[in-house]
Structure 1
Amino acid sequence: MVLDPIPLVILFLMTIVLVLVSVEAGSALGRRAHHGDNPEKGEPISGVSGAVLSLTAFMLAFTFSMVANRYDLRMQLVRDDANDIRTLYNRTDMLPSPIDRSDARELVKSYLDQRLAYADKSNMDPAHMHNVLLDSKRIEKRLWDIAMRNVHGDMNSDYAALLIESLDDVASAQASRVDVVSESRIPSGIWIVLYGLTILGMMSIGYHSAIVQSRRSKATVLLALSFATVISFLVSMDRPDGFIEVTQQPLIDLKDWIADGES
């Protein structure tokens, strides 16, 4: 995404500077227009400024709706992931061989650890994330081999079919989480439009102030802080490593539940 290379703190400060510079640029244009041969009046400019700011507010609301829906979906996928892994763990009891049961349980526990490692915000390095996904796929393959071995031993085994169903559900849950967290992001075009409207809105404020010969208000700094806070908040919710964290508590609870059951 277009904003991903920029740390959130830098993005916050850049947005503040962008708003202040835009207001100043609009004010400079307004002063030139006001002192021209045919000076503009404040009333039409006020209407234009209000329209641009309304469009900016609409774009902010639209973007917030998108990131909020994605945040809710990520929360739901964590719960679904935990439920699917719990079901898979329980169904390993159906395996007839004690060795297979033991191996499958250990693999499920390792898989759960990989799911938690994938969501660990302290290490979001792309190479690390890629290795975690590879390890998860290797575990899925080993679990699949165990299930297939039991299917081939008894082609009419309902237990093996249920285990395969759980494996499919777990693999689908992981694919959905990877897609939503890492790939289904807010399009770069939306951020560009949002910043573009913010610049135009701030310029219209400065332009209008100059036309009506109003002194530049110190509250402009508060305006810059407000826009920077909201935009940084939206960017954070869209990023996997943002400070708006999706809780992994369902997976943590599942890990504790497994540990309690084996103690």
Structure 2
Amino acid sequence: MKIVDALARHGGLDQTLPLQAGLIMYFSDFFHSLPLAAIYIFSVLLVLGALALGILLGRRHLAHSGDDKGSSVGSAVAATLALLAFLLAFTFNMTADRFNQRKALLLNEVNAIQTTYLNARFLDSADTRRARTLLLEYVDLRDLDLRTDEITDEDLARSRVLHGELWRLVDRAIDGGHEPGYLRQFVEPLNTVINFDNSRNVVGLQYRIPGPIWLALYFMTALAMLAIGFQFGISRGGSPQVAVALALTFATVILLIADLDRTTEGFLLVDQKPMSELNRLLREAERGAASQ
């Protein structure tokens, strides 16, 4: 406690903590911005390089000492691989849970928008038309093909503007003495839409694997491959085929984790079909209402 108090008095904490937070953000942004192909190639090269270095060290050790120490090295390799497997499973579960959360948030937002659109009839007729027009534009903003469309800051800002315009309709209804029981039928789903919009933006665009976990994952992978290579070296075992198989296996798992961590790129993207289907249904409803 004395050290902490001294650092606080001299500004040490104020300077150190922002620096640490900045480094964490830097590594997180760095790994998240790397192309998936680069991550895969780097992972393969890292595994092959660590294996080659381990084999070289193992053979040099065997040439100098003549003692293979097979049992002790085997135990160390098993322990290292167990820790690496735990870290891989932990990281994979983290990204898989967030992937499932993104799917659930999409479906929940689609249901909330549809309910808000239907319950706009509890407003005055002019406000009903205005609310439904705003919701149609909002669905257009949310209806994206993640493989080709880009989520821009302008679209996110426009979504917040639409939220404000929809709430102004609520304020106007309150000022006009609208029946609270009827108005609540529109307010509650609208509030849900706004909440899910914020949740989707945070979970999809801000939450990601922290940089320290990436560093630990690569460090443990390199250490495990180094240990395996050392065991190959002292036992005069191993082969290029085994090395390539290990490299491709671990690189594929790491690539899968990185892919799940991405929202707008890669092979494992959340299917946006529910939002597209809602967009189609609402536009058909508008055309039907206009023809009457």
TM-score class, shorter-chain normalisation, is over 0.9
| Deviations 1:110-160, CA, capped at 9 Å, x for gaps | 01111124x634233xxx521111000111111111111011101543222
Q: Tell me if 1:261 matches 2:285.
A: yes
2:250 pairs with 1:227:
yes
1:65 aligns with 2:93: yes
Matched, 1:120 2:146: yes
After TM superposition, the structure 1 = structure 2 runs for residues 25-36 of structure 1, keeping only pairs within 5 Å, are: 25-36=53-64
Identity of paired residues, percent? 32
How far apart are 1:255 and its partner, in Å? 1.4
Partner of 1:191: 214
Taking the aligned partners of 1:147 and 1:121, their CA distance within structure 2 comes to 36
Match of 1:83 among 80, 87, 111: 111
- Structure 1 moving runs of 4+ over 4 Å: none
Aligned length, in residue pairs? 258
8 Å CA contact 1:30, 1:211 repeated in 2: yes
What does 1:15-54 correspond to in 2, within 5 Å?
A: 15-37=43-65, 39-54=67-82
When residues 144 and 32 of structure 1 are mapped into structure 2, their CA distance, relative to the original with a 3 A threshold, is: same
- One-letter code aligned to 1:158: G
- On the 8 A contact 1:56/1:198 being kept in 2, the answer is yes
TM-score w.r.t. length of structure 1 = 0.93
User: For residues 167 and 159 of structure 2, what CA distance do their matches in structure 1 show?
Assistant: 12
**Alignment-derived partner of residue 7 in structure 2:** none
Cα distance change on mapping 1:155 and 1:33 into 2, 3 Å: same
Counterpart code for 1:184: Y
| RMSD over aligned Cα atoms | 1.6
The letter of the residue matching 1:122 is T
Give the match for residue 180 of structure 1. 203
Contact 2:136 2:283 in 1 (8 A): no
Unaligned runs of 5+ in 2: 1-27
Alpha carbons 1:41, 1:212 under 8 Å: kept: no
Once the two structures are TM-superposed, the CA of residue 260 in structure 1 deviates from its matched residue by: 2.8
- Residue 250, structure 1, aligned to residue 261, structure 2: no
Distance 1:212 1:179 in 2: 51
For 1:37 and 1:222, the matched residues in 2 are separated by 30
Cα distance in 1 between the residues matched to 2:143 and 2:210: 27
Which residue number in structure 2 is paired with residue 136 of structure 1?
A: 159
Please state whether the residue corresponding to 1:159 is helix, strand or coil.
helix
CA distance in 1, matches of 2:212, 2:238: 35
Candidates 194, 219, 236, aligned match of 2:259: 236
Structure 1: any 5+ residue segments left out of the alignment? none
